[in-house]
Structure 1
Amino acid sequence: MRSALLLSPLLLCSHLLADPSPKTVTELKAFFAANCVKCHGPDGSAMADGKKLGGRDFTDAAKQAKQTDEEMAKTIRKGIFFGVVMPSFKDRLSDEDALLMVKEVVRKAEKGKVIAP
């Protein structure tokens, strides 16, 4: 009983420690703008100012067909090559948020159309 009383305040405050990850498509677009544009470009084409960036081109349907939504979401969460090639966002996006990012942001990227102004 005593340990339950000691843990009660921690359990009540655990929501404060929870991941404040984005949930809406609008929030995920803003997340993309803040965290992904440097490598994937403002429209997801991995181009900026006529120069090729280091990330994958999300506007190339043939390249995108090579990975399932779940595989892409896993890459977002885990990163690539221990976070050296692409950082991990596991502490900032839940599995569900990463999958929503793929389905509603990445898969809908269009060359020349800024994802999140």
Structure 2
Amino acid sequence: MTVRTTMDPARMRAEADRITAALRLLAHPDRMLLLCTLSQREMCVSELEEELDLHQPSLSQQLGVLRSEGVVAPRKDGKNVFYKVTDPTLMQILAALYRTFCPKE
């Protein structure tokens, strides 16, 4: 027999707000492409631009949103800026979406 405990309503509200914010980030097609790609490996801006066929200023704008939300981090190496996903919760969400919607190769 499984005993279920009820989560405190205030905590549920806080979690609902956090989940909604994460889903809002994923709700933009360009951000979804960026996050899916960056969840696989760190990439520089020029690689992202070429691989995803995203161009300035859209690419910079969406990377700026992801940076400001704290889910990706930049790393400068010479003239190149590399990005990677740094939010472990978002990585779990992306993995679940990948398993559900992306074809197995």
- Specify if TM > 0.5: no
TM superposition score normalised by structure 1: 0.30
The TM-score with structure 2 as length reference comes to 0.32
Considering fraction of residues, name the structure with more strand: 2
Using CA pairs below 8 Å that are at least 6 residues apart, which structure has the higher relative contact order?
1
**Structure with the higher helix share, 1 or 2:** 2
